Chains A and B, each alone.
Chain A
Amino acid sequence: MKTQNQKAWFFVLPVLILVAFNALIPMMTVVNYSVQETFGNNVFFWQGLDWFQQLLRSDRFHAALGRQFMFTGIILLIEIPLGVIIALSMPRKGFWVPVCLVTMALPMLIPWNVVGAMWNIFTLPDIGLLGYFMNNTLGIDYNMTRSPFAAWATIITMDVWHWTSLVVLLSYAGLVSIPDAYYQAAKIDGASNWAVFRFIQLPKMKQVLTIAILLRFMDSFNIYTEPFVLTGGGPGNSTTLLSIDLVKIALGQFDLGPAAAMSLIYFAITLLVSWLFYTLMTKDDAK
């Protein structure tokens, strides 16, 4: 049992100050911008909730939001099952375990713009390994700068390459924590491989999978650097995800008001969906 102790606040204070400095002040700036209009020279006019109304009715925002949900949905549908399958087929002990884990973690430690640049070099139609192979060996017309489908396929493959390991490592951690007795009991009970997965492995992985889904949702919903470096949001607007659009408006056009309003709606959506995921996935435990 935890003890009641209000002095614990002193322990939390440094964290509170640092995070508040980084989160509250910029957040207030954003809120401030979102209700004002500026024509430069630091002159601002009260704008009320106009930006929010405009934004919620704007086709451009709807399109970016739609693309964002599509992207996040697709990568979750690929990465979560794939990560679980890979974790299930990994060895449990021996020399190869650390080798596997270290290689798998490697993509996550590469700076995000390098990931974008690396995939750019990899997919160049004439001199990239994948691009050359697709165009010249398989004879498939593959060019990201022309075909929106190729661009989408590439940013999704890149994200799968970049982040599936997170799901693998989390699931693997869940799997190795299952005592041998469970597998032995299942063998004696005559359980099939599917039954072992369904009634032993999946329930034990549930907690880590919740973390995996939450992290993957948050990070993929906020993704910016990798697709920006790879496709720049193109061809056309076909791969302009929410973050890319936001930076275009804020830094490209310097429309601070609409950008700030968009930031807040964006943040609210992320929070809301994360909360929904979290409550849905932990609903059973509360019973």
Chain B
Amino acid sequence: MSKRHVIPILYILFLLLPIYWLVAMSFKTTGEILSGFSLFPQTWTFDNYKVIFTDPTWYWGYINSITYVTLNSIISVAVALPAAYAFSRYRFLGDKQLFFWLLTNRMAPAAVFALPFFQLYSAVGLFDTHIAVALAHCLFNIPLAVWILEGFMSGVPKELDETAYVDGYSFPRFFISIFLPAIKAGVGVTGFFCFMFSWVELLLAKTLTAVAAKPIAATMTKTASSAGYELGLLAAAGTLTIIPGAIVIYFVRNYIAKGFALGRV
């Protein structure tokens, strides 16, 4: 191991410390937390996790979050695929302006849209449903999905399309049986990004839900303010929110470097 590897090692330690503290806290009893500082849990307890897995307001939070995140990822990738294909293969009236306009939506602060979203989704009768959050998150996920997929698709030579048409493939059959497999890494990476940004967003998700579709992150804020400072419980809930992300990231680990370059390197 050479000297320069010290830098990434230190950086990873810095990344892991707060996470360690959160996990350690989740295994401590309330008594231990309140009695003072301790580096490791003195008496290990699973009580905090037990509360989460038995109380429906807690575990439904997880189910809600995962539901709308999955819905959003599927919608975003599905509609972004044909659009990205159009941007990567054709020139059409207003294509550049449209692409830029899509990207500007990623620049819009969520705080700007919070109240209008509440009114919009209440007006169409979707307030407090999973689909409302899934659709709202499309605002920033679809532009991103189009952007990433366009990068990957531009890397596929146009000759592939032409050969397929010469061989007598119809467009849908070509797209599904030839083109999609050619960019499956790109689809995976896009799905990952959509999952990531929908999973971590809270402001819109909280604004658009009340009870039935309330995300786990919102449940946590409620607990933090109403039930006093139940740090152990909060830490356990927080720890559990890291797990879905970690699982998803494990699946795309080999594409991650290229994926982060949005297919453009």
Contacts and interface: CB of A to CB of B under 8 A. Distances in A.
Interface of A: 2-9, 11-12, 14-16, 18-19, 21-23, 25-27, 29-30, 85-86, 88-91, 98, 100-114, 117-119, 121-122, 126-130, 132, 136, 161, 164-166, 168-170, 172-174, 176-177, 207-208, 211, 218, 221-222, 224-225, 229, 242-243, 246-247, 250-251, 256, 259, 263, 266-267, 270-271, 274
Given A114-B238, A224-B110, A267-B108, A173 B17 contact: no
Given A11-B83, A11-B85, A30 B112 contact: yes
Interface residues of B, number: 93
B245 interface: yes
B21 A110 contact: no
A16 B98 contact: yes
B82 A19 contact: no
Contacts of A126: 36-37
Q: Is the interface of A mostly helix, strand, loop or mixed?
A: helix
Contacts of B203: 224-225, 247
B18 interface: yes
B115 A250 contact: yes
A193 to B, nearest CB: 10
A8 B92 contact: yes
Interface of B: 4-8, 11-12, 14-22, 25, 33, 36-37, 39, 75, 79-80, 82-83, 85-87, 89-93, 95, 98, 102, 104-117, 119-120, 135-136, 138-139, 142-143, 146, 196, 199-203, 216-217, 220-221, 224, 231, 234-235, 238, 241-242, 244-246, 248-250, 253-254, 256-258, 260-262, 264-265
Contacts of B86: 8-9, 11-12
B109 A274 contact: no
Contacts of A128: 21
Contact of B109 (A2, A4, A21, A270): A270
Nearest to B18: A122
B202 A113 contact: yes
A25 B120 contact: yes
A102 B112 contact: no
A14 to B, nearest CB: 4
Contacts of A6: 92-93
